């Protein structure tokens, strides 16, 4: 068995992963590798709940503000980045903390991801044009109707992901989910997955409070600065899309805030659906001293 261990802290947005990951990294005197598909962008801060400057100063973090919004970042790129960072960190430390809520990135790190087929560029261009003309509601309806299996697990507010599913469907005649069944790659280190969860009512209350705090911290100004780039995939994200719509004049400010809260609740629910399918995750109650619970699990796994 490898002497190196990656401890993964996963769970829905707003459950408290950052604080737990930092506490564990300090405990093991090691570093943190993020597996969040949005906190990696330098230009996005408040809206993606990036760790504060104080938090980032406590232990070394990786894949935080590491890329620009105009760079392509996907699960395959993350897999390469994360494994390279892990190899470097394991030269100095026996343990690594990995944390985030992007299920596909976590899967990529732990077991690799499936190769997707090459799709004719004309299909992509045609679908992008249809989306530009008809909007997100049309795109959501198309995916729900034509690929209901994918729709159940999709980031339903993310047009880039939905368009990708449609282009695979049109290019191959198959659901994107049919390409996600490849064999798992063995990693040269141990992996222990810890899931943070809490009662849904409590999580929803935390989500609502967090969104209010984001607005107080200046999220609207952050979004205004990014408005010229709103077409980029990185910004097809809850918290940004709704405020772009507000700035376009299509919805009122208060309604935009309500929608951010609603869409974040829906996203958290989808995250839990994804993670609950993974039987290797050890779940702890995030509301009751999660670090002590995690230490107990790690001791049972022979990690101290």
User: 198-232 pLDDT, tens per residue?
Assistant: 999 999 999 999 999 999 999 999 999 999 999 88
User: 44-68 pLDDT, tens per residue?
Assistant: 999 999 999 999 999 999 999 999 9
pLDDT at 106 over 70: yes
User: 140-170 pLDDT, tens per residue?
Assistant: 999 999 999 899 888 888 887 899 899 999 9
CATH class of residue range 121-179: mainly alpha
pTM for this prediction: 0.84
Host H or E run for residue 191: strand 190-197
For the chain, the domains span 5-114+182-300, 121-179
Closest CA to 211 of 47, 36, 16, 100: 47
Quick check: helix, strand or coil at residue 36? Answer: coil
pLDDT at 180 over 80: no
Give dist(CA 274, CA 154) in Å, integer.
10
Please, are residues 6 and 98 in contact by the beta-carbon 8 Å criterion? yes
pLDDT for res 52: 95
Closest CA to 291 of 14, 20, 44: 20
Please check whether the domain covering 5-114+182-300 is classified as CATH 3.40.50.300. yes
pLDDT for res 181: 66
Q: Tell me the percentage of the chain whose pLDDT exceeds 90.
A: 80
For 159-162, which contacts have Cβ atoms below 8 Å and span 24 or more sequence positions? 159/131, 159/236, 160/233, 160/236
pLDDT at 23 over 70: yes
Give residue for tokens 């530009």: 132
- Per-chain mean pLDDT for the chain: 93
pLDDT at 271 over 60: yes
Q: How many residues does the chain have?
A: 304
Confidence of residue 178 (pLDDT cuts 50, 70, 90): confident
pLDDT for res 160: 79
């Amino acid at each position: 068995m490898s002497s190196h261990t990656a401890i993964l802290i996963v769970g829905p947005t707003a459950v408290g992963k950052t604080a737990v990951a930092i506490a564990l990294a300090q405990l093991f005197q090691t570093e943190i590798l993020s597996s969040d598909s949005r906190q990696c962008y330098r230009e996005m801060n408040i809206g993606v709940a990036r760790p504060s400057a104080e938090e980032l100063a406590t232990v070394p973090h990786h894949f935080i503000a590491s890329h620009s919004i105009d760079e392509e970042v996907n699960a395959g790129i993350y897999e390469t980045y994360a494994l390279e960072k892990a190899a470097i960190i394991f030269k100095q430390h026996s343990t690594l903390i990995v944390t985030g809520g992007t299920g596909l990135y976590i899967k990529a790190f732990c077991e690799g991801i499936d190769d997707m087929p090459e799709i004719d560029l004309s299909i992509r261009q045609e679908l992008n044009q249809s989306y530009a003309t008809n909007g997100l509601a049309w795109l959501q309806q198309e995916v729900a109707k034509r690929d209901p299996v994918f729709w159940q697990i999709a980031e339903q507010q993310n047009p880039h992901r939905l368009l990708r599913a449609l282009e695979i469907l049109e290019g191959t005649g198959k659901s994107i989910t049919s390409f996600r069944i490849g064999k798992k790659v063995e990693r040269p280190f141990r992996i222990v997955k810890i899931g943070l969860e809490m009662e849904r009512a409590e999580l929803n209350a935390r989500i609502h409070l967090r969104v209010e705090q984001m607005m107080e911290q200046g999220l609207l100004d952050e979004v205004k600065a990014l408005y010229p780039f709103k077409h980029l995939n990185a910004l097809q994200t809850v918290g940004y899309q709704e405020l772009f719509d507000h700035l376009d004049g299509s919805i009122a400010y208060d309604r935009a805030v309500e929608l951010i809260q609603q869409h974040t609740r829906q996203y958290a629910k989808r995250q839990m659906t994804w993670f609950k399918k993974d039987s290797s995750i050890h779940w702890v109650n995030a509301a009751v001293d999660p670090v002590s619970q995690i230490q107990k699990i790690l001791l049972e796994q022979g990690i101290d």
